[in-house]
Each structure stands twice: as structure tokens, then as C-alpha cells.
Amino acid sequence: MSELVSLHENPTEQFLRTDRMPHIWCPGCGIGTTVNCFTRALLDSNANLDKVSVVSGIGCSGRVAGYLNLDSFHTTHGRAIPFATGLKLARPDLDVVVYSGDGDLFAIGGNHFIHAARRNVDIKVICVNNLVYAMTGGQTAPTTPGDALTSTSPYGTFEPSFNLPQLAEAAGAVYVARWTTYHVRQLAKSMFEMFNKKGFAFIEVLSPCPTLYQRRNKMGDGMETLRQYKELSKRKDGASTSEVGLTRDGEIVVGKFVDRDRPDYATLMKAHYQHTMGDKYVETGAIICQ
Amino acid sequence: MTKGNVAITVERCKGCAFCVEFCPTKVLALSPAFNSKGYHPPHVVAPEKCNGCDLCGMFCPDFAIHGWREKKA
């Protein structure tokens, strides 16, 4: 078997920092599955890998940046999007991907998310949504659906949760999709489309958290959750994002909800400064190259 | 049917069994053997059924398995 392995390498292998494997994600966690889809999408898109950079925040999915053998940066909590925005402004030639979790992007970094979407900064955001703050011990997150038990809500949550696709659309994202870790092919295709989209693109990926969410809620292991995704998910491309909210055991609407075009931040900035400053305006990319 | 192969990196496996469950042609089963971390990795029980679709490789959260298709001579 070892000969076969050397002859045919796993397509993900070339993207990994293999000295850091095996990774620390729990058995049954779906983050590795999303990384598979991401690497397949990168392979399909024929992207120049020297020009792809991955930015992560804090959390389980924040570790993706550390495991991917691309130019990657592991930022402070919630600040993946500000870092990515700065990176994109300074190096417009890069494809900047933000790979982070629901707690990092929508709780601690929620403010940054809505403003980056409003400005339509040309970054790609992948949110691995496991419905709790997993790495810190399973506390209630803004995405935890009603009546779930978490370490900070032993009698169940009662807060309404965020509907992430609706939030992204309302804030101005040009591409919004939701998949689960069961929909691997669809997710890879969606990520591929995202790379070809100019502007703020957002994909929510529902992922099991067997250790801190499923276990506490007696929902079985990672496999049980994937079976549940298979059973409960319903593909509705172009569905109104106001109707795709998640409940604890209800239907999971997946698909591509928004695909539209708006001028992105860099285009608007360039047009505005060229209009107001005329010949004095020098683009940031040009300054750095000198 | 196209002939496929599957390769397993036993030491990376954490025994989640996603590959076993979602293999469309049911090529894999969890092995009774342990790897050094104490998980049961999958093993190939029906190699002739594999068509190399690489769905196991897409699902595997531990980058421990992948499939490929043999090129026709």
C-alpha cells in the first residue's frame, strides 16, 4: 500500500504543512472536510498558489491557516477580516481568503464582517459554523439555535440566533451560499465559484462539533450529525435569505442564495481618488512594487 | 466500470468512519485492528467495487484516505 501512496498522493497533501499532521481537530469534526473542498476548489481554479493567502481568526477553524501550506496568517480573535482587508488593499494582486468560525466572524468580529460586506472588499469569507464556541469550551455563540444546551446555558438557550446568510446579504455581500459538510462536491463547486467572483463572497458551512455541541445535546457523534444533514437539508438555490434561518432540529436550507454584482471597494476607491486627485493619485500596488 | 484505487494513511485516521458510510459502492469497512493512537482505521473489503470517485478523500477530515482512477492504457 505504501508504494501506492507514494505514486498517488492525496490531492490535499500538497497544500498541507505535513510536519504539523495529524491535526488537533476531534474525531468526527468537519473542519478537515471543508479543507478538502477548499483544496479541490483551488486545484480546479488553477490559481497561482503564490498569490493565494489565507487569513484565520481564533478558534478551531482558525487553525486552518496554520495547517495550510499557503501564505497564511493567524490573527487575533475576531480580526481576521480587518487583517484581510489591509492585505487586499496593500496587495491587490493577492486572492485573500478568510477562513474562520462562527464565533470569530460573527461574535467577536461581527462588526468587521458587516463593514467589509458593506464596503464590498474583494475578500472571500468561509465561515465554518459549528453552532458553539468550540475551542473555548462550548459556550453559547450567536449562532446557537434555540433550546440547545451549552456550557454557559445548562438550561438551554433562549436567545434568537443569527441567520448568517441573511446578515451577509443585508450587509451587502455579492455571493452568499450555505452548505453542510455532507455536501462536499457542492461545497467545492461553490468555493470554485467564489474564487471567480469579484467582491465580498461568503460561504457558510455547517459542521458537526461532536465534542462540545452534539455530546452535550445528546445528538450523537459526527456521523450522526452528517446523517442528520443528509436527511434534513433541502437545496433551494436563490431562496430568500430571510427564510433560511436554522433551528435545532428543523430543515436546513442549503444552496446558493445570492449571486449579484456590485462595484468593489478597490474599484470605487480608485475611481473616487482619480476623480478628486487626478494625476497625483498612485495606486497602492504600484507604491509597494517600487 | 472504471477501475479505481484507494490509499489509506492509517496513522492519520481518527476512526470517524465517514469514508465507510458515504462510499457509494461500499468498498470500505472499519478494520478490527488499531492504529498507534488507538483508533480503528478503515480497510478495503471490496477492492473490485472501487471506481475511484475520491468521495472518501473529500469527506475524510484527517486527510488520511483518497481514491484515484487508473488511466486506461
Q: Which of A4, A25, A28 sits opposite B7 (nearest CB)?
A: A4
Answer yes or no: is B72 within a domain. Answer: no
Q: Which of A1, A29, A40 sits opposite B61 (nearest CB)?
A: A29
- Helix axis angle for A110-119 and A164-171, nearest 10°, is 40
B28 touches chain A (CB under 8 A): no
Answer yes or no: is B73 within a domain. Answer: no
For B67, counting Cβ atoms within 10 Å of its Cβ (0-12 exposed, 13-18 middle, 19+ buried), the class is buried
Identify the pLDDT of residue A218. 87
Residue A28 clears pLDDT 60, i.e. is over it = yes
User: Is A226 in Cβ contact with B22 (below 8 Å)?
Assistant: yes
Interface confidence, given as ipTM, is 0.89
Task: Indicate which CATH number applies to the domain containing A208.
Answer: 3.40.50.970
User: Is A184 in Cβ contact with B58 (below 8 Å)?
Assistant: yes
Contact A208, A130 (CB under 8 A): yes
Rg (CA), chain B: 12
Answer yes or no: is B46 within a domain. Answer: yes
Phi, psi at residue A111, to the nearest 5°?
A: -60, -45
Task: Indicate which CATH number applies to the domain containing B26.
Answer: 3.30.70.20
Q: How far apart are CA A197 and CA A117, in angstroms?
A: 14
Q: How far apart are CA A184 and CA A56, in angstroms?
A: 21
* Mean predicted lDDT score pLDDT of chain A: 89
How many residue pairs from chains A and B have C-beta atoms closer than 8 A?
82
Answer yes or no: is B30 within a domain. Answer: yes
Q: Residue A29 is part of which domain span?
A: 2-289
Confidence band for A254, pLDDT divided at 50, 70 and 90:
very high
pLDDT in tens, A60-119: 998 999 999 999 999 999 999 999 999 999 888 889 999 999 999 999 999 999 999 999
pLDDT in tens, A107-162: 999 999 999 999 999 999 999 999 999 888 889 999 998 888 899 999 989 989 99
Q: How many CB atoms lie within 10 A of CB A172?
A: 18
Distance, in angstroms, between A180 CA and closest chain B CA? Answer: 11
User: Is A37 in Cβ contact with B63 (below 8 Å)?
Assistant: no
Identify the pLDDT of residue A4. 45
Answer yes or no: is B61 within a domain. Answer: yes
